[in-house]
Amino acid sequence: MGSILVFGASGQLGQCLAHVAQERNIPGIVFPPEAQANILDVSGLQALFAEHKPAYCINCAAYTAVDKAEDELELARKINRDGVENLARLCGEHSTTLIQISTDFVFAGTGNTPLVETDAAEPISVYGLTKLEGEQVIPAHTSQFFILRTSWLYSEYANNFVKTMLRLGQDRDEMRVIWDQTGTPCYAIDLAGCILTIIESQSQQYGIYHYSNEGITSWYDFATAIFELSGTLVKTVPIRTAEYPTKATRPAYSVMDKTKAKTVLGVAIPHWRTSLAVCIGRLG
């Protein structure tokens, strides 16, 4: 099958890939340290590709500070667009399949029906714009790519909404949480499983896919479920987005349709509450 190079190995999804790869006993998966795997360092990337001759390159590296990005367009663009282009160019030169992680933030989120891969991408934040630009630079360099758009990512690793709610819930009796943003959480362990299934099946059904867990929820209902499933006694109070202003505008509705991933890639996708219960069980 050839080796698998993972960029962004120390991040949330990188750690989940390491966990699932070990569970599945997948050989040849390489997690180079950040110092050797800077996606902006072309000569360093060339050395890694020459050494490992990867069949697959998984890019989990990204600028993900959504609000800070509003003030750091150039840095966000360097990482989310230029870094992706560096990898895509090398993947094309080495006949390596690129698996790029993208986001629901490429959409404006003004609709009310689940988004399919061919829906117009109209980002309303710098983060969303630079992630979309990262998607757009790939096809000029390689036709062997999978772009996986995901949303509301969480796990037992790194910083995320679930761990933040559980931490804050230890000290508070009440939490005010936004109820008018609708989407679907994604357990990063499940996304890692999807990525590795693509590789194990040696699929050549290249293109853009949507992947999150099944179902639809709001941040308010997500938080309520976190406290309920963990046995944390916290009252959740629904608030509107306008009551919690942030620098970057978030999509109001970013539920993604996963039909293509299920039918073409053959992946099974659990409901978000099922996966949340698994994660909380592991955190407990």
Instruction: Give yes or no for a contact between 59 and 100, defined as CB atoms under 8 angstroms apart.
Output: yes
Catalytic-labelled residue, pool 63, 127, 209, 211: 127
d(CA 113, CA 249): 20
Angle at alpha carbon of residue 204, lines to 271 and 86, rounded to 5°: 95
Distance in angstroms between the alpha carbons of the first and the last residue of the chain: 37
* 140, 81 contact by CB (below 8 A): no
DSSP state of 140: T
Give me the phi and psi of 81, to 5 degrees please: -110, -60
Radius of gyration of the chain from Cα atoms? 18
* Beta carbons within 8 Å of 226's beta carbon, 6+ residues apart: 162, 165, 166, 169, 232, 276, 280
Active site residue 127: yes
C-alpha span between 29 and 54 (Å, rounded): 9
Q: In the sheet that 97-103 helps form, which strands lie side by side, from edge to edge? A: 29-30, 3-7, 54-59, 97-103, 145-150, 207-210
Other beta carbons within 10 Å of 47: 12
Q: Which residues are catalytic?
A: 127
